[in-house]
Amino acid sequence: MIVVRTVSDLRAALRGRRGGSIGLVPTMGALHEGHATLLRAARSADDTVVMTIFVNPAQFNEQSDLAAYPRTEDADLALAEAEGVDVVFAPDASEVYPDGFATTVSVSGPIAETLEGAERGRAHFDGVATVVTKLLLAALPDHAYFGAKDAQQVAVIRRFVADLGIPVTLVVCPTSRDADGLARSSRNTRLSPDERARALAIPRALTAVTDAAAAGVRRSDALRERALDVLAEALIQLEYVAFVDPETFAPVSSVDRPTLVAIAARVGATRLIDNAVIPPVPPTTGGA
Amino acid sequence: MIVVRTVSDLRAALRGRRGGSIGLVPTMGALHEGHATLLRAARSADDTVVMTIFVNPAQFNEQSDLAAYPRTEDADLALAEAEGVDVVFAPDASEVYPDGFATTVSVSGPIAETLEGAERGRAHFDGVATVVTKLLLAALPDHAYFGAKDAQQVAVIRRFVADLGIPVTLVVCPTSRDADGLARSSRNTRLSPDERARALAIPRALTAVTDAAAAGVRRSDALRERALDVLAEALIQLEYVAFVDPETFAPVSSVDRPTLVAIAARVGATRLIDNAVIPPVPPTTGGA
C-alpha cells in the first residue's frame, strides 16, 4: 500500500493502473466498520482501490466540531492495509487549498439548501461539493463509493457529478449499523454510554416509520407523529424529521413513491443523522 | 470532420484517439481569423483537434446581447474543416443545461469581481467557469486554447483549472488583430464604418500606454492619462482603463512588474474589450 500526500504523487501512483478499473473511497479518516464496508465493495469491484483521508475544513460549520473531529491516521492506515487498499491519498489542507485558492462548486435548490443545508449553513455543501470535485478530478476513478447514511450529501454529489459531467459512476452502499441498530459514525465515539442508549431512539424512530408505512399509513404528517412519539421518550434535541424525494429533496406529503425519511438530532453535544428509504406502499384495493 | 451534439457522442468520438494528444478550442461560433489562429496552434501541437461551438446563455448579462450574438454555424463548420479540425462539438442548450441543472462553478476575488465581473455582473464569470468546466470534462483534452484578448476570462479559467485540478494545460495565444490594429471579435461585425474608425482609438490608446511605459513612465495614473487623451478624441463611451496584475487582477499603481492594461468601451451599441501587457520597465540608473 502506497501513501501519497500530493495530487501529483497520486497521479503518478495511478498512471500505470489505468488499464484496469479504479475505485475511490473518500473518507475523513476516523475509520470504522462503515468505511470498511465501502472499502470491501471497492475491493470486490475494482482493480485498484484508492482511499482518501481528508478532514475538510471547508465543510465544517462549527470550529468546535472541526477541532473535535477524531484524527486517527495510524489506525486508519492499518485498517486500509488490512482491507487491501492500494493507494491512500492523505493531503494536508495546504495541498487542497493552497494560497490564493478561490473556487467554489455550488449546488442550488432544496437538495443543498434544506435540512443539512439549512442546519449547517450554505457553506457546508459548497465545501463538500468543492472537495469531492477535487478528489474525483485528482484520481479520475471509474467508481466512487459513498455511504447511504449521508443521503443528502450523496444527492448533492450525484447532482454536481451529473451537471458537470464528471466521468465517474457513484456507488451508494447501505448504511452500516452496529448490532444495536445505531448507524456507524465517526462521531459515535463521543457519546457517553447513557447518550448512546438514548441515541438508539433515532433508528427506532426510523423503524417505527417504515413499519407504519408498510402497514398502510401514507401521510407524511401521520408518519412523522410515529417518529416523534419514539424520539420524545429519549430526551434528545431533535433538529428535523423530514420526508423528501431522495433525489431532489423536495418535500413529500404522501408516501406513494420511494421517499426518504431523514432525522437529525443532538444527543448531548453530539449531532447525529440517520435515514431510511420508505418503499412505495402499494395502493390498497377497495373504496375510501 | 465529425460533428457531434451530445457529450456521449463526443466521448465516443474521442475514445480511440486518447493514444495521442487532444487539443480543445472552445468557441461561441461566429468564427473569424482569431479563432483560426487558435485552431492552427492546436493543429500544429495536437494529434486530435476538437472545437466546440456553444453560445452560452449563462454568461450573457444582457438578453439583447445574447439575441444579437451572431450565429453562423454553416460558415463555422466550413472554416473548421478548412483548418483541419477533427471533431466539432456543437450542443444545444438543453444538452449543456438539462432540466434540473443546479450546479455553479464560481471564482471569487478581484479576478472575477472587478472590471468585466463588475460591468457584466457576477453571473458572467460564473457562467464562463461552469460551461468551460463542463467542456473540459467532456473532452478531457491535453491542451485547451484561448485568446489573450479575453485576458480576464483566461485568468478566471486559469484559477479554477488550478484550484479544481482539472487535468489540462492552457495555451494562451496572442490577440489576433486586423491590419488596422482592431482586435478581432465576433462583435466587430456589428460596427458601422464610422464606429469601426472610432473603435481604433482603443488599440491606439494601448499603444500610447505601452510606448509611454517603454519611455520610462511608471505610474499607472500617468499612463492612464495617455490612454484617456487618445480615447477622448474618439467619442466612445469608456467603461474602464485598468492597470492590474495579469494573474490576480489586483490593481497595480506602479508598473515595475508585468502589468495588464485593459480597456472596455462601447462604440455605438457595441461593447468592445482589448488589452496589452506592459513589460516591466528596467529601473533607471542614478539618483531620485
Residue B241 near residue B259, CB atoms below 8 Å:
no
Residues of B whose CB is below 8 A from A11: 167
User: Does the residue A285 lie in any domain?
Assistant: no
Describe chain A by its helix, strand, coil percentages, rounded to 5. 45, 20, 35
Q: Do A164 and B133 touch (CB under 8 A)?
A: yes
Q: Is the pLDDT of residue A283 over 60?
A: no
pLDDT at residue B62, rounded to an integer: 87
Whether residue A159 lies within 8 A of chain B, CB to CB, comes out as yes
Residue B282 is predicted with a pLDDT of: 57
Position A217 scores a pLDDT of 95
CATH code of A216's domain: 3.30.1300.10
Give CA–CA dist B162/B109, Å, rounded. Answer: 15
Test mutation, B9, B104, B157, chain A, max A CBs within 10 A:
B104
Is residue B23 domain-shared with residue B157, that is, in the same domain? yes
In a domain, A76, yes or no: yes
B257 domain-assigned: yes
* pLDDT for the residue B281: 62
Do B96 and B161 reside in the same domain of the chain?
A: yes
pLDDT of residue A280: 80
B12 CB within 8 Å of a chain A CB: no
Residues 165-184 of B with CB under 8 A from A: 165-167
Q: Do A159 and B103 touch (CB under 8 A)?
A: yes
Which residues of A are less than 8 Å from B134 in CB distance?
Answer: 163-165
At A286, is the pLDDT very low, low, confident or very high (cuts 50, 70, 90)? very low
Average pLDDT along chain B, 288 residues, taken 10 residues at a time: 98 96 97 97 98 95 88 97 98 97 97 94 94 98 98 98 98 97 95 96 97 95 97 92 96 95 96 94 52
B181 located within any domain? no
Phi, psi of A216 (to 5 degrees): 110, 0
CA distance B140 to chain A (A): 10
> Length of chain B, please?
288
Residues of chain B contacting A138 with CB distance shorter than 8 Å: 165
B37 lies in the same domain as B68: yes
Q: Which of A103, A106, A129 sits opposite B159 (nearest CB)?
A: A103
pLDDT in tens, A18-77: 999 999 999 999 999 999 999 999 999 999 999 999 999 999 988 888 998 889 999 999
Q: Look up A35 and say whether it is catalytic.
A: yes
Do A160 and A245 fall within a single domain? no
- Mark whether A165 and A192 lie in a shared domain: no
Q: Which helix (H) or strand (E) holds A94?
A: helix A93-96
Please compute the mean of the pLDDT values over residues A205-217 and round it to a whole number. Answer: 96
Q: Give the C-alpha separation, B19 to B17, whole Å.
A: 5
Q: State which of A173, A202, A229 marks the end of a domain.
A: A173
Tell me what pLDDT residue A268 has: 94
CB atoms within 10 A of CB A194: 11
Q: What are the percentages of helix, strand and coil residues in chain B, rounded to 5? A: 45, 20, 35
Give me the pLDDT at residue A235, please. Answer: 85
What CATH number is given to the structural domain containing B16?
3.40.50.620
**In a shared domain, residues A54 and A192:** no
Rounded to the nearest angstrom, the minimum Cα separation between B247 and chain A is 11
Terminal Cα distance for chain A, rounded? 62
Total tally of structural domains belonging to chain A: 2
Beta strand residue intervals within chain B, DSSP E: 2-4, 22-27, 48-53, 87-89, 103-107, 143-147, 169-173, 237-244, 259-267, 270-278
- Residue B59 annotated as binding? yes
Last residue of a domain, one of A127, A148, A173: A173
Residues B121 and B9 both lie in one domain: yes
Claim to verify: residue B18 and residue B113 sit in the same structural domain? yes
What's the rounded mean pLDDT across residues A195-214?
Answer: 97
Asked if residue B65 belongs to a domain, the reply is: yes
Q: Are residues A118 and A153 both part of a single domain?
A: yes
Which residue of chain A is at minimal alpha-carbon distance from B96? A163
More confident residue, A157 or A281: A157
Identify whether residues A73 and A194 lie together within a single domain: no
Q: How does pLDDT run across B103-131, given as a tens digit for each residue?
A: 999 999 999 999 999 998 889 999 999 99
Q: Under an 8 A CB cutoff, do B138 and A165 touch?
A: yes
Q: Which amino acid is at A282?
A: P
Grid cell 492500494 is found at: A86
Residue A283 covered by a domain:
no
The last residue of one of the domains, among A115, A145, A173, is A173
pLDDT value of position A122:
86
Across chain A, mean pLDDT equals 95
**What proportion of chain A, given as a percentage, has pLDDT over 90?**
91
Q: In this structure, are B124 and B218 located in the same domain?
A: no
Mean pLDDT value across residues A115-139 = 95
Q: Give me the domain span that covers residue B265.
A: 186-277
Helix (H) or strand (E) holding A50: strand A48-53
What is this model's ipTM?
0.93
Indicate whether B85 belongs to any domain: yes
Q: Does the pLDDT at position A281 exceed 90? A: no
pLDDT one-digit tens code per residue, A148-159: 999 999 999 999
A97 lies in a domain? yes
What is the pLDDT at residue A288?
A: 43
Same domain, A195 and A270: yes
Please give the residue of chain B at the shortest CA–CA distance from A164.
B134
Put simply, the answer to whether B101 touches A163 (Cβ < 8 Å) is yes
Q: Annotated catalytic residue: which of A10, A35, A114, A146?
A: A35
Mutate which: A103, A104, A105, vs B, most B CBs within 10 A: A103
Q: How close A262 gets to chain B, by Cα (Å)? A: 22
Q: Do A164 and B107 touch (CB under 8 A)?
A: no
**At residue A206, does pLDDT exceed 50?**
yes
Q: Is B104–A106 a contact, with Cβ atoms under 8 angstroms apart?
A: yes
